[in-house]
Amino acid sequence: MAVIIDGKKHSAEMRKTIADRAANYKSITGKDIGLAVVLVGDDPASAVYVRNKIKGCEEVGIKSFAYYLPADSAQEQVENLVGGLAEDDAVNGILVQLPLPGHLDAKKILSRIPKSKDVDGFCEENIGSLCMNEDCLVACTPNGIMKLLERENIPVKGKNAVVVGRSNIVGKPMALLLLNADATVTICHSKTRNLKEICSRADILVAAIGKAKFITADYVKQGAVVIDVGMDRDENGKLCGDVDFEAVKDKCSHITPVPGGVGPMTITMLLYNTVTAAERCL
């Protein structure tokens, strides 16, 4: 039976340190650390994420500024809001919840977030820095996975890492982080041939596919570390991951469950990035 990586435990421990850092910032500057959260439209899943992000801020003593804009907001209106937050000294981090309504140009809106306040790590400058292995703000889910590996004392250097999924939010930054940590990295996607064979050679397998229980035991090497980024629904509508947990758990050395693995780390890393962004201005 594998070690089940407890994301909730790691997340709670990290939040204590983040709260101490936020308190320390306040004692030095006399100011709260501030995070601005922008939600455009009424997508229910996005509304839940935003609510949890605001709750996370309260828990660690970060001041949140929430902006709820109607779904039919004009491009200029959203850009002007983000542009104003970029200039606002009370705001250390800016987050624009994605996806944005289809008529908006997300790329142009995100480009109004300065590199130093880009706590999601989505802007081109931060992705460029990550690519160059320079210190920068890194996308929360992949950065949270690196923290889980580190905190579980799982070595990465020299290991074969396979990332299934090539999204800008998870797959690509994940692959870059593993590469920067000296893994030998393969990125797979929907057009990859021999996916099962490639996955079954991985020492570290990261599944960010979006298909319930796609990764079965055949995809997993004996003793591998399996990281499940999926948030899917099984045939009974129950929350599950991209990995068939029951089939894989006896074959791997470590596995993240869904729920309770990678998920709890994502918002914690947003809080971590916000405190880091603020400290860099000290």
Positions annotated as catalytic residues are: 53, 97, 120
Q: How far is the CB of 45 from ligand GUN (least distance, A)?
A: 8
Tell me whether residue 37 or residue 199 sits nearer to ligand GUN (CB atom): 37
Q: What is the DSSP letter of 253?
A: S
In whole angstroms, give the CA distance from residue 140 to residue 256.
16
Tell me whether residue 97 or residue 126 sits nearer to ligand GUN (CB atom): 97
Beta-bridge partner residues of 160: 184
Other beta carbons less than 10 A from residue 30's beta carbon? 7
Asked if 140 is part of the footprint of ligand GUN (rule: CB under 6 A), the reply reads yes
Beta-bridge partner residues of 172: none
Residues 77-136 that bind ligand GUN (CB under 6 A): 95-98, 120
Q: How far is the CB of 247 from ligand GUN (least distance, A)?
A: 28
Q: How far is the CB of 97 from ligand GUN (least distance, A)?
A: 5
Q: How far is the CB of 46 from ligand GUN (least distance, A)?
A: 7
How many residues bind ligand GUN, per CB under 6 A?
A: 7
If you search the block for the tokens 């939040």, which residue do you land on?
Answer: 15
| Secondary structure (H, E, C), 185-219 | EEEECCCCCCHHHHHCCCCEEEECCCCCCCECHHH
Tell me whether residue 91 or residue 140 sits nearer to ligand GUN (CB atom): 140
Tell me whether residue 69 or residue 98 sits nearer to ligand GUN (CB atom): 98
Residues 161-190 that bind ligand GUN (CB under 6 A): 169
In whole angstroms, give the CA distance from residue 178 to residue 162.
9
Residue 266 structure tokens: 């994502």
Using DSSP bridges, classify how beta strands 3-4 and 254-255 pair: parallel, antiparallel or unpaired. Answer: parallel
- Give Cα separations from 98 to 42, 229, 245, 251, 278 (angstroms): 12, 17, 28, 36, 23
Tell me whether residue 249 or residue 276 sits nearer to ligand GUN (CB atom): 276
User: Which residue, judged by CB position, is nearest to ligand GUN in the bound state?
Assistant: 98
In whole angstroms, give the CA distance from residue 208 to residue 163.
7
Asked if 143 is part of the footprint of ligand GUN (rule: CB under 6 A), the reply reads no
Asked if 244 is part of the footprint of ligand GUN (rule: CB under 6 A), the reply reads no
Q: How far is the CB of 131 from ligand GUN (least distance, A)?
A: 19
Other beta carbons less than 10 A from residue 110's beta carbon? 18
Tell me whether residue 78 or residue 95 sits nearer to ligand GUN (CB atom): 95
Helical ranges in the chain per DSSP H = 7-29, 44-60, 75-87, 106-110, 124-131, 140-151, 171-180, 195-199, 245-248, 263-279
Q: How far is the CB of 51 from ligand GUN (least distance, A)?
A: 13
User: For residue 171, which of 110, 251, 225, 227 has the smallest C-alpha distance?
Assistant: 227
Residue numbers of the site for ligand GUN (CB under 6 A)?
95-98, 120, 140, 169
